[in-house]
Amino acid sequence: MVCYNFVGGGSGIGRATCQVLAREGASIIAADRNIKTAEDTVSQLLDKKENEHCSVHIDVSESKSVKEVLQEVLRKYNRPPTIIVNCAGITKDNFLLKMSEQDFEDVVNVNLKGTFLVTQTFAKAIIEKGLNQASIINISSIAARNGNIGQSNYSASKAGVELLTKTAAKELAQFGIRCNVVIPGFINTPIVNTIPPELKNRFIANISCKRMGEPQEVAEVITFLASEKSSYINSASIEVCGGLLSL
Ligand SMILES: NC(=O)c1ccc[n+]([C@@H]2O[C@H](COP(=O)([O-])OP(=O)(O)OC[C@H]3O[C@@H](n4cnc5c(N)ncnc54)[C@H](O)[C@@H]3O)[C@@H](O)[C@H]2O)c1
């Protein structure tokens, strides 16, 4: 049985990735801080493997929660997942001069520390079990490339995710674990719903494809990186941003 863990599977890119991976025959573990939306993700999966899918509550910023989820998964599947997709992410935007210490910490704790905790915890379990083939896909952001006004916390956390992933790739390749990072641009999910329409239109004018991306378009790339079709891709950063002209 191939088993996929899916962190942040309750919404947006995470939910779309659950759907695409399930379409490819995967067993889905939709893990999210919002258990209700994770349950909805699983109930909406269209394939016939319902028994092998499950949803779990996780708070990726808490090591205790991440470890508990690993134990729950081991009890249910008798092995750790060999595909880990770290999709959990938050924004708490403000100008640098106005940003509170709390908002800075919250974003770094979920986006960067959460990615670290999940990557470390599940990689250890994969190695301990002697599984020789696994793929970890982390999600950065185009905002990490050049910074973005109002997002000093988010941009910095996502830049960290990219370099964390590249370092993990170099350390974990010897155990058959590939690590790659996907860099979405401007994708049509709840996380961008807070952006005022006039600002959204300004962003779209700056994309050569002249539209926002859909979550499924990111999910297809994640699924490729999860599969053996990408067996020689390691430590890569793949932009899925419709040819953003500048940010
Ligand atoms: N949508 C975009 O334009 C865009 C662009 C670049 C990067 N991203 C990144 O892609 C990833 C997915 O974003 P999305 O657009 O699907 O957003 P989303 O808000 O739809 O989904 C994020 C999910 O993360 C979960 N989550 C938040 N904090 C958590 C925690 N502490 N523990 C576990 N789960 C938690 C949320 O409940 C939610 O289901 C994020 O990392 C985001 O930063 C998104």
Give per-residue pLDDT as tens, 148-157. 999 999 999 9
Considering only CA atoms, which residue is closest to atom 32 of ligand 1? 59
What's the mean pLDDT in 193-205?
Answer: 87
Residue nearest to atom 21 of ligand 1 (CA): 11
Q: Provide residues with CB under 6 Å of ligand 1.
A: 8, 10-14, 32-34, 37, 58-61, 87-90, 110, 114, 139, 141, 184, 186-187, 189-192
Cα three-residue angle 139-206-154, rounded to 5 degrees: 35
Question: Stretch 50-60: mean pLDDT, rounded?
Answer: 88
Ligand 1, atom nearest to 142 Cα:
6
CATH architecture of 3-240: 3-Layer(aba) Sandwich (3.40)
Q: Which atom of ligand 1 is nearest to the CA of 186?
A: 3
Q: How far, in Å, is the centroid of ligand 1 from the Cα of 2?
A: 24
For residue 130, report the distance from its CA to the centre of ligand 1, in Å: 31
Read off the pLDDT of residues 100-126 as tens digits, 9 standing for 90 and up.
Answer: 999 999 999 999 999 999 999 999 999
For residue 231, the 8-state DSSP code is T
pLDDT at 238: 98
Of all atoms in ligand 1, which is nearest to the CA of residue 60? 32
pLDDT of 195 > 50? The answer is yes
| Mean pLDDT within 153-170 | 98
Interval between CA 215 and ligand 1 midpoint (Å): 11
In the numeric block, which tokens belong to residue 141?
Answer: 């952001």
170 HSE (CA, 13 A, CB side): 5
Cβ-based neighbours of 123, under 8 Å, separated by 6 or more: 134, 136, 168, 172, 175, 177
Comparing 42-51, 164-173, 211-220, the range with the smallest average pLDDT is: 42-51
* Contact (CB, 8 A) for 185 and 240: yes
Which of the listed ranges 5-14, 38-47, 212-221 does the model predict with the highest average pLDDT?
212-221
Per-residue pLDDT, 46: 76
Q: What is the mean pLDDT of residues 94-104?
A: 98
pLDDT band at 192 (very low <50, low <70, confident <90, very high): confident
Q: Are strands 27-32 and 237-240 parallel, antiparallel or unpaired?
A: unpaired
CB–CB of 115/161 below 8 Å? Answer: yes
Task: Give me the amino acid identity at 215.
Answer: P
Q: State how far the Cα of 210 lies from the Cα of 204, in Å rounded to an integer.
A: 6
Cα-to-centroid distance, 216 and ligand 1 (Å): 14
Q: Return the residue whose CA atom lies nearest to atom 1 of ligand 1.
A: 187
User: Distance from the CA of 180 to the center of ligand 1, in angstroms?
Assistant: 17
pLDDT of residue 191: 82
Give the residue-averaged pLDDT of 49-68: 91
For ligand 1, what atom is nearest to the CA of residue 62?
31
H/E stretch holding 117 reads helix 114-128
Active-site residue list: 154
Mean pLDDT, the chain, whole residue set: 93
What pLDDT is attached to residue 9?
78
- The per-residue pLDDT for 152 is 98
In which residue are the tokens 């109002």 written? 150
Q: Would you say residue 21 has pLDDT above 90? A: yes
- In this structure, what token pair is assigned to residue 210? 């002249």
Q: How confident is the model at residue 1 (pLDDT cuts 50, 70, 90)?
A: very low
Mean pLDDT of 41-66: 88
